[in-house]
Amino acid sequence: MDSSMSRKIIRYVLIFVAFLAFIIIQPFTYENIDAGNVGIKINLYGTNRGVDNITIVTGRVWYNTWTTKIIEFPTFTQSVDYDPFVVTTKDAAEFKVDPKLNYHVNPAMVPQIYRQYRKTLTEIEQQFMRNSIYDAYRIVANSFSSDSVMSNREKFEDRIQTVLISKLGKDGFIYDQLTSAITPPESLRQMIDEKNASIQARLKAENQAKQADAEAKVKVATATGEAQALLVRAKSEAEANRLRQASLTPMLIQQEWIKKWDGKLPTTQTGAGTSFMMPIK
């Protein structure tokens, strides 16, 4: 193999290696912005560094990784389950709160969100949004006593919702729902249990009293009915006897006597063993 052929082979190899190196280190790539997401393009160099006033729609976006960065924000509903924390009421009772937040991002405000926080959505959730939730509970709890938190649970959570809607909404986060498991202190829980037991006992006693009263009324009604029935029977028998006595005329008595006569005349015993019969006229 002559030297000219060797130089050609080496040149081709070098070209191929350079091409592979270019393919490997070249800065151009693309990002797929899926449906339900918004992408923002960030310039890393030049006088226009920062977030462009362009919201990238769904689809494939080509960009230079050396000079540009693409940040993708989901705009569908997010659910974040935060670690429990403790808040204090105005009478110094400590309640444990275990919140779970559902929210979504306002697509039109995605560039503003990144300008303000310069973080990913996951980082924002665990920093700004968590602090907002904690502050909402802290502020509202300080305006409630421990008893009123439990007896006005709906009002308590409505106040927290109002604070969060205002706080999150102005920064581009739309509040959907907040689920909070609120655990009272052990002493208050015991008081609540005793109060509930007392209420249950009172309700049971009232129900028993109502049942006894109802049973007594049934017995009275039964006795009254039986007495009235006896009275009616007695009146009926008395009336029947009166009618029978009123119907016993002398003629009727004589007819009844004749029906029962066996044909023998009655005899009367006189002195000295003599007897005689009296004729019946």
Contact assessment for residue 54 and residue 128, using Cβ atoms and an 8 Å cutoff = no
Residue 78: what pLDDT? 94
Rounded Cα distance, 56 and 192, in Å: 55
Better-predicted residue by pLDDT, 178 or 279 = 178
Residue 147 lies in a domain: yes
The burial class, CB within 10 Å (0-12 / 13-18 / 19+), for 119 is middle
| Chain CA centroid to CA 247, Å | 82
58-89: pLDDT as tens digits = 678 887 888 888 888 898 999 999 999 999 99
Residue 254 lies in a domain: no
Residue 262 lies in a domain: no
Residue 22 lies in a domain: yes
**Across the chain, what does the average pLDDT equal?**
79
138 and 156 together in one domain:
yes
Residue 255: what pLDDT? 65
Contact assessment for residue 168 and residue 103, using Cβ atoms and an 8 Å cutoff = yes
Question: Looking at 184, 205, 233, which one is the last position of a domain?
Answer: 184
Rounded Cα distance, 178 and 176, in Å: 7
Question: Looking at 157, 184, 211, which one is the last position of a domain?
Answer: 184
Instruction: Residue 152: give the domain boundaries.
Output: 78-184
122-175: pLDDT as tens digits = 999 999 999 999 999 999 999 998 888 888 888 999 999 999 999 999 999 999
Residue 232 lies in a domain: no
47 DSSP 8-state letter: T
Residue 226: what pLDDT? 77
Which CATH number does the domain housing residue 148 bear? Answer: 3.30.479.30
82 and 154 together in one domain:
yes
Q: Looking at the 3D structure of the chain, how many domains does it have?
A: 2
Residue 41 lies in a domain: yes
This prediction has a pTM of 0.57
Phi and psi based region of residue 260 (left: phi greater than 0; alpha: psi -120 to 50; beta: remaining): alpha
Better-predicted residue by pLDDT, 88 or 199 = 88
Residue 268 lies in a domain: no
218-244: pLDDT as tens digits = 777 787 877 777 777 777 777 666 766
Amino acid at 118: R
